[in-house]
Amino acid sequence: MRILLIEDDPDLAEVVALGLRNESYAVDVAGTYAGAEELLRTTAYDVACFDLGLPDGDGLDLVRRLARDPDLHRPRRSLVLTARDAVADRVAGLDAGADDYLVKPFHFAELVARLRALGRRGDGHGSTLRVGELALDLAARRAWRAGRELDLTAREYSLLRYFMHHPGDVLSAEDLLEHVWDANANPFTASVRVILSRLRRKLGDPPLIATITSAGYRLEAPP
């Protein structure tokens, strides 16, 4: 899951982004309305987290624009993170198009739980994701193949999770970079191939991730 964190407090943004990266999320950070707008013009995010009190505009206006501005990539889900705790503010945020609303100060564990819930919403999955003999515990960040637990790094886990959310789909290296890595990734490196090779080795035989020549990769888990 690739997340856009819009937060004008640099210290809070740094702490939250670091925590989310440790939870295997790819995170880009914007501290202003203009900065968030620029990222939303170029990148498709799975979830965007909006602070409302930005120094150069109202984050709620940006939430509203996502529904009508074709130049902006609308995230699959949006979460408002703000100190505005009045009922009217919550109603305004949800009516503007946000999928969830979390008031500051918040516990980091609750933020992560809400992000997991947003990621599951509409995909028919509960807390455990299953594809063939693969199983992923989204809360505990543990993975198994045919009952054998897999010892995965955070990036390997994120990559497997993305494949399992798109079983049977051909995913290009660009797709994987966009959703599993963040803006700090160098698109000209071999990082996708390296992590993918390690993941394949840990998954074992028979191979589950096929290379589709000139197209990308596909998870072909047996039933």
Give me the pLDDT at residue 196, please.
92
Instruction: Please give the average per-residue pLDDT across 36-60, as a whole number.
Output: 91
Query: What CA dihedral angle connects 67, 2, 210 and 186, to 10 degrees?
Result: 120
Measure CA 122 to chain center.
15
Give me the pLDDT at residue 175, please.
86
Query: What CA dihedral angle connects 49, 52, 56 and 57, to 10 degrees?
Result: 110
pLDDT (tens digit, 9 = 90+) per residue, 50-76? Answer: 998 899 999 989 998 887 888 888 888
Asked whether residue 6 carries a pLDDT value surpassing 90, the answer given is yes
Q: Tokens representing 214?
A: 């000139």
The verdict on whether omega for the bond into residue 70 sits within 30 degrees of 0, i.e. cis, is no
pLDDT (tens digit, 9 = 90+) per residue, 16-29? Answer: 999 999 888 889 99
Give me the pLDDT at residue 9, please.
93
DSSP 161-178: HHHHHSTT--B-HHHHHH
Give the best-scoring range by mean pLDDT among 48-57, 91-100, 179-188.
48-57
Nearest CA-CA partner of 181 in 161, 216, 153, 155: 155
Dist. CA 48–CA 20, nearest whole Å: 13
Instruction: Please give the average per-residue pLDDT across 73-87, as a whole number.
Output: 88
Residues in the chain: 223
Give me the pLDDT at residue 221, please.
64
Give me the pLDDT at residue 130, please.
83
The verdict on whether omega for the bond into residue 223 sits within 30 degrees of 0, i.e. cis, is no
pLDDT (tens digit, 9 = 90+) per residue, 119-164? Answer: 776 554 456 788 888 988 877 788 999 889 999 998 899 899 999 9
Q: Tokens representing 73?
A: 């990539």
CB 176 within 8 A of CB 169: no
Asked whether residue 188 carries a pLDDT value surpassing 80, the answer given is no
Q: How far is CA 138 from CA 67, 75, 120, 193, in A?
A: 29, 21, 9, 24
